[in-house]
Structure 1
Amino acid sequence: MSEDLSFIMDSTEESMKKAISHLEAELVKIRAGKANPQMLDGIVVDYYGSATPLNQVANISVADARTLTVQPWEKNMLQPIERAIINSNIGINPQNDGVIIRMFLPPLTEERRKELVKRCNGEGEHSKVAIRNIRREAIEQIKKLQKDGLSEDVAKDAEKNAQEITDRYILLVDKHLTSKEKEIMAV
């Protein structure tokens, strides 16, 4: 029985780590005024009929603090890349000069900063819901073990442990959101 319990706790913690990793990946995509090549992660380009991630058809680099450059490996990919960036709705207009695509990040207005903070908080809320769902599943598994003969005291301790793990990861989500909010609101 204790093997089953430790497996449940390990898989619960592993799932919560994945939820935090997902949150970190989503927060990186939300720009905080500085150019970051990861802002373009998730943009897919039509590459000879197949959907291909942008970073696999072009070199993405940071020219300066407010400029991203995208240099396709094939010159005929300029138009599809430009179209994909426009359709991705990231709020940046690409400028194609026939060789390279430049994207100038406009300075963030106060209103836009607040909007980005709201978006971050929304992502954080999704992560918290995911973490709570993982906790709920773990507690259901513990109750199932209890029906199969696990003592009530051990089951209660395991549920308490699951709650402590959950609290720790919820706190981690809050820390990530606080640091991202500071980063966005810094002028």
Structure 2
Amino acid sequence: VMDAPPTLAPAIIGPINIPQDSSPDRDSEDKDVIGSGEDGICICICAVCSDEASGKHYGVLTCHGCKSFFCRSVRAAKSYECRANGNCPIDRKARNGCRACRFKRCLDVGMDTDAIQPDRDRTGKRSAHGAPSLQQLLSGFNGVPVKRENKEDSFLDEPRFKKAKETESPAAPFQPVSIGDHNVLITLKQ
């Protein structure tokens, strides 16, 4: 007879109480925490523009905007030039004013250019060697050119309209023809 495993009492975890009247101390070690919200959760700020941070990106707590700006700048190897004295204000409202100073600030706060991964080929992007065009698919049907008369013929873009295999028997069992297939046959007949 085996003894039952010991049971653990559930732990009661409450919200973290951070004094609401504490003023932000920008000279402390944790410069990215400025206070807490009503629910006791710490609010972190972007080290670049002082907007609300969305997380740690490229080694630094930043907002989504500064993360994206830094990533685009590094991937495209952008070289910006300040039109002023090289010390433009970079805050939530003016962060888009000077790209040179914003990028400099990104580097000054420690954003790591080596942490950016190379751009990947996304599913939505197609190369020149992608799927064949409708004209290429239907060009093998006895050399008859295909004319698309209206946008409702978008079903023609489907890959099911390919040249019939030469090995198929002409006596294959009859299959009903859909309206879309019927329209294709009429177009090919013309």
Indicate whether the TM-score tops 0.5: no
TM-score category (smaller protein): under 0.3
Higher helix share: 1
The TM-score normalised by the length of structure 2 is 0.20
